[in-house]
Chain A
């Protein structure tokens, strides 16, 4: 089964740039999607198909994907960005969605 690896935590000061990685074998050949989940709330899609943003998601959220690592980048981080972030791909070898373990973003 395909495995996605995320760092458990990332910390960043307000106004700085946060980068959250998602590692997987040749992940660059897959479409990667990112979700933001705040405490007690359902996940929200923030980036899909590596780098596209759903309507209503600020341009501060961007994504990239190459080789064995996909990255969610949050520019000009705000206190309200503090949340858990999950990456997700489709594992075509067994036809199912796979989520990364999640990264807790802390805004210092």
Chain B
């Protein structure tokens, strides 16, 4: 069974870049049968989709975040990553990585999430 695990700094200063990595185990990220997504959730609020990447490198981003987001994949490490630039307190949230099937638009497997706080 595939497992996803987020990792990265839990505290980021305002105006800096938030960087997170999702490590995939129990399956190959380069199989081509899936896409890989990031989602976030501020405390007490709903889910916000950030973006997704296919192994080919093709990406889709949330229009509201597109100017600040980069998602990349490292098949050699079986990981994919999120970079969110120019962060503010509004970017404080639990960040989840997730997997969805190629050709489907749902997310069948999720990581446990990691809290990122933006504060000086």
Interface residues of A (CB under 8 A from B): 1, 31, 33, 35, 37, 41-45, 48-49, 54, 86, 88-90, 94-102
A-B Cβ contacts below 8 A, count: 60
Q: B63: CB under 8 A from chain A?
A: yes
Residues of chain B in range 35-51 having any CB-CB distance to chain A below 8 Å: 37, 46-49, 51
Closest to A43 in B: B110
* Chain B interface (Cβ < 8 Å from any Cβ of A): 37, 46-49, 51-52, 60-63, 96, 104-108, 110-113
> Can you name 11 extra interface pairs (CB under 8 A) apart from A41-B112, A96-B51?
A37-B47, A42-B112, A43-B47, A45-B107, A48-B104, A88-B47, A88-B105, A95-B60, A96-B62, A97-B105, A99-B46
How many Å from the CB of A88 to the closest CB on chain B? 7
**Cα A99 to Cα B46 with chains together (Å):** 8
CA distance A24 to B49 in the complex (A): 17
* Interface pair A102/B60, CB less than 8 Å apart: no
Residue of A88, A95, A96 ringed by the most chain B CB atoms within 10 A? A96
Alpha-carbon separation in the docked complex, A42 to B111 (Å): 7
